Amino acid sequence: MNDSDNTDFGFQRVPRATKAARVAQVFDSVAARYDLMNDLMSGGLHRLWKQTTLTMAAARPGQQVLDLAGGTGDLAAGLAGQVGPQGRVVLADINAAMLTRGRDRLLDRGLAASLAWVQADAEQLPFADDSFDLITIAFGLRNVTDKDRALAAMQRVLRPGGRLLVLEFSKPTQPWFARLYDQYSFQVLPRLGRLVAGDSDSYRYLAESIRMHPDQDTLRAMMATAGLDQCHYHNLTGGIVALHIGTKPRP
């Protein structure tokens, strides 16, 4: 088999056709403890990273927003508050278990008026061209099999002048910090996953997938290649996470 038929699954090389199913197994396993593990793994920092994303998103009342790979709905909840009852936020995720958990959480919070739910693959978005004023994707792009195809799909469904915000783990900017981060990721996270979620393998994959994800400048270039303008990024927490922003050009 030609290696172009393979892709990364953590540090492994697997057939491209199998990656989505293997990622699905990971999130089926972690869905029930996903929010608790996020708090434990990041020391609560993921809430600050998402709040920064919401601040930069600044969706306006009445806008149409897509929260892609939206998981348990943290961003979607904040975006729904921004667009109000005149707007709409579509919470989309390829994983049924994560989408169901997110839907249930948001229904419990009384946010149904501004929300819709769609199970969708980021590479094959089931939306018309020029549908959304804003797209967010938080901690989901690194799990996509073909990131270039997914970015092109996001660009397609954005309206001219609309923005894409990609919040994702990235590369620490200081070597000493990167070494500490590696020790934490590969020694602490799998043990934490085993103790709290009963699953060390899934959290080992998550740590590996972060290391295989494109760095800040590479992802910025990928967004530009997908047809987005004004592509830039903001490093958060020393580059552990980066928020990338790009705009669909107007005709």
Give per-residue pLDDT as tens, 129-174. 999 999 999 999 988 989 999 999 999 999 999 999 999 999 999 9
With b for 16 or more beta-carbon neighbours within 10 A and e for fewer, the 231-251 pattern comes to bebeebeebbbbbbbbbbeee
Give per-residue pLDDT as tens, 27-86. 655 555 556 656 666 777 888 999 999 999 999 999 999 999 988 788 999 999 999 999
Mean pLDDT of 209-229: 94
Structure tokens at 183: 């020790």
Residue 197, pLDDT score: 62
Domains of the chain are: 23-173+205-247 (3.40.50.150)
Residue 4, pLDDT score: 63
Structure tokens at 194: 């085993």
Cα torsion angle, 84, 88, 94, 98, sign = positive
Q: Are strands 12-15 and 115-119 parallel, antiparallel or unpaired?
A: unpaired
Number of alpha helices (DSSP H) and beta strands (DSSP E) in the chain: 10, 9
Q: Is 163 exposed, middle or buried (CB count within 10 Å of its CB: 0-12, 13-18, 19+)? A: buried
- On the question of pLDDT at 193 being above 80, the answer is no
Q: What percent of the chain has pLDDT over 70?
A: 84
Q: Contact at 8 Å (CB) between 88 and 65?
A: yes
Give per-residue pLDDT as tens, 173-185. 999 988 988 888 7
Q: Is 84 left (phi over 0), alpha (psi -120 to 50) or beta?
A: left
Closest CA to 209 of 12, 6, 37, 21: 12
Q: Greater confidence, 169 or 1?
A: 169
Count how many residues are written for the chain: 251
- On the question of pLDDT at 2 being above 80, the answer is no
Residue 1, pLDDT score: 46
Residue 9, pLDDT score: 60
Q: Greater confidence, 239 or 212?
A: 239
Q: Greater confidence, 190 or 216?
A: 216
- On the question of pLDDT at 239 being above 50, the answer is yes
Give per-residue pLDDT as tens, 81-140. 999 999 999 999 988 888 888 888 888 888 777 899 999 999 999 999 999 999 999 999
- On the question of pLDDT at 219 being above 50, the answer is yes
Whose tokens are 């901690």? That residue is 139
Closest CA to 26 of 213, 211, 209: 209
Q: What percent of the chain has pLDDT over 90?
A: 53
Structure tokens at 69: 């790979």
